[in-house]
A and B are shown apart, each in its own frame.
Chain A
Amino acid sequence: AQSVTQPDIHITVSEGASLELRCNYSYGATPYLFWYVQSPGQGLQLLLKYFSGDTLVQGIKGFEAEFKRSQSSFNLRKPSVHWSDAAEYFCAVDANNDMRFGAGTRLTVKP
């Protein structure tokens, strides 16, 4: 079965700084890839997704992610973080209708 690894449990960045959240997956083929964000006590909101085509995908709230097949990675980036971006971020892979999530990365934003 596929698996998802988010190596960073917690990241702290200053407001206005750039951000990169890492995601690696294990699967024999290219799965569908997603990033979700979860604020405390809330459900998950979809930020962006990759199914096929252009490996750089744009999402909401100024986020983007790049699929790198050779590295089995799908890292999330944002050029300038806002205080409202503080939340938990989850990478997910869907292979044959089997959705697996990483353990999440908690983002703290310093003023």
Chain B
Amino acid sequence: DTGVSQNPRHKITKRGQNVTFRCDPISEHNRLYWYRQTLGQGPEFLTYFQNEAQLEKSRLLSDRFSAERPKGSFSTLEIQRTEQGDSAMYLCASSRWERESSTDTQYFGPGTRLTVL
């Protein structure tokens, strides 16, 4: 079990550029979550997948944000036309959800810190 990994760990970009982050979940986990964390705050839920299906995306911050998980394994989060307000830590988590128990525990990756200049 290698844990959740995220790449890159840091990203500096200029306003208006597009950025893409990758998350590799724990291998047997079927759910994958994206969060944003700003300084001094707790993580804020953005979206999640069960296998390749995106089950919740209404809380993505704007239409500039999109996420994919095409094969039900790794996921990418893209931010188009970045703004300075997008500067934050973007966290990924994964879990093994089982219908029988209807419970799951999320395990977090180290995050990608985005700085928009």
Contacts and interface: CB of A to CB of B under 8 A. Distances in A.
Q: Do A and B come from one complex?
A: yes
Main secondary structure of the interface of B (DSSP, over half): strand
B4 A43 contact: yes
Given A43-B4, A43-B91, A44-B91, A102 B111 contact: no
Contacts of B45: 98-100
B41 A104 contact: yes
B40 A51 contact: no
Contact of A49 (B33, B40, B55, B105): B105
A51 B108 CA distance: 19
Interface residues of A, number: 22
Contacts, number: 46
Interface in A54-100: 90, 92, 97-100
Name the prevailing secondary structure of the A interface residues.
strand
Interface of B: 4, 6, 33, 40-45, 48, 55-56, 91, 93, 103, 105-111, 113
Given A44-B43, A99-B45, 15 more contacts: A41-B113, A42-B110, A43-B4, A43-B108, A44-B91, A44-B93, A46-B106, A46-B107, A51-B103, A97-B48, A98-B45, A101-B44, A103-B40, A103-B41, A104-B42
Interface of A: 4, 32, 34, 36, 41-46, 49, 51, 90, 92, 97-104
